[in-house]
Amino acid sequence: MSPYIIETGGLTRSYGDICALKPLDLQVPEGEWLSVMGHSGSGKSTLMNLVGGLDRPTGGTLQVGGENLLALTEDGLARFRRNFVGIIFQQHHLVPYLTAIENVMMAQYFHSMPDEAEARHALERVGLGHRLKNRPGELSGGEQQRVCIARAIINSPKLLLGDEPTGNLDHKSTIMVMELLKELRGEERFTVIMVTHNQDVAAWGDRTIHLDDGMLVREERMNCQ
């Protein structure tokens, strides 16, 4: 059995004539926290979308959790995402008419069965036990991001993807969110792929890869914070 949760070989993604990701060979061991850095348009979000089964590559191979994502149908990819992946978005993407707890329960609905007690527990873990019934409009940016984290971890994913999760947060909230992610990772042992252009945020990971113009240009091991 492969020790890698993610393995890509010559992975590419083009949009017409534009090559967003040039042939990429990447292995991510299970439990690793990988930071992906690069400027805008460097291909880091493209990589995250491919690994998360949100998008399809135009070439190469892509194995995630032993699953060949290229072979999966549209519905197969949806099932892969619900069972295997948790996603934290920069824009939070919370449903505005649902309360914090209901937003978490929506992920449970697509996974298996909405369970209010479990959703409450997940929100308590991210420090939002007192904001269960608040709608996104009534929460601060940091709180919304924590709801997003609770939603991402509720189904115990093996892979947690973060697309600039602290991009819209101030320094204090950023630290809070990163500490929370580190703590949860310690408990859940999931693999993290964190896309960021912030060196400080990237430094929370075990390893950082740098992309430029769709190519892997540099890789560095980090010291744990």
Nearest to 118 by CA among 45, 106, 22, 58: 106
What is the edge-to-edge ordering of all strands in the sheet holding 4-15?
18-29, 4-15, 59-64, 67-68
Cβ closer to another protein: 103 or 191?
103
Cβ-based nearer residue to another protein, 68 or 112: 112
Residue (145 or 208) nearer to another protein, CB:
145
Kindly state the smallest distance separating residue 151's Cβ from another protein, in Å: 7
Could you tell me the smallest distance in angstroms from the CB atom of residue 53 to another protein? 9
Identify the residue whose tokens are 């909230």. Answer: 173
Q: How far is the CB of 89 from another protein (least distance, A)?
A: 7
Q: Do residues 8 and 60 make contact, with C-beta atoms less than 8 angstroms apart?
A: yes
Q: Which residues bind another protein (CB under 8 A)?
A: 49, 52, 54-56, 74-75, 78-79, 81-83, 87, 89, 91, 93, 95-98, 102, 105-107, 109-111, 113-116, 151, 155
The 3 state secondary structure assigned to the chain is CCCEEEEEEEEEEEECCEEEEEEEEEEEECCCEEEEEECCCCCHHHHHHHHCCCCCCCEEEEEECCEEHHHCCHHHHHHHHHHHEEEEECCCCCCCCCCHHHHHHHHHHHHCCCCHHHHHHHHHHCCCCCCCCCCHHHCCHHHHHHHHHHHHHCCCCCEEEEECCCCCCCHHHHHHHHHHHHHHHHHHCCEEEEEECCHHHHCCCCEEEEEECCEEEEEEECCCC
- Residue with Cβ nearer another protein (91 or 156): 91
For the bound state, the minimum distance from the C-beta of residue 144 to another protein, rounded and expressed in Å, comes to 13
Nearest-approach distance from CB 225 to another protein, in angstroms: 29
55 versus 143: smaller Cβ distance to another protein: 55
Q: How far is the CB of 191 from another protein (least distance, A)?
A: 18
Residue 164 Cβ vs another protein, minimum distance, rounded to whole Å: 13
Q: Which is nearer to another protein, 6 or 154 (CB)?
A: 154
Of 29 and 114, CB closest to another protein? 114
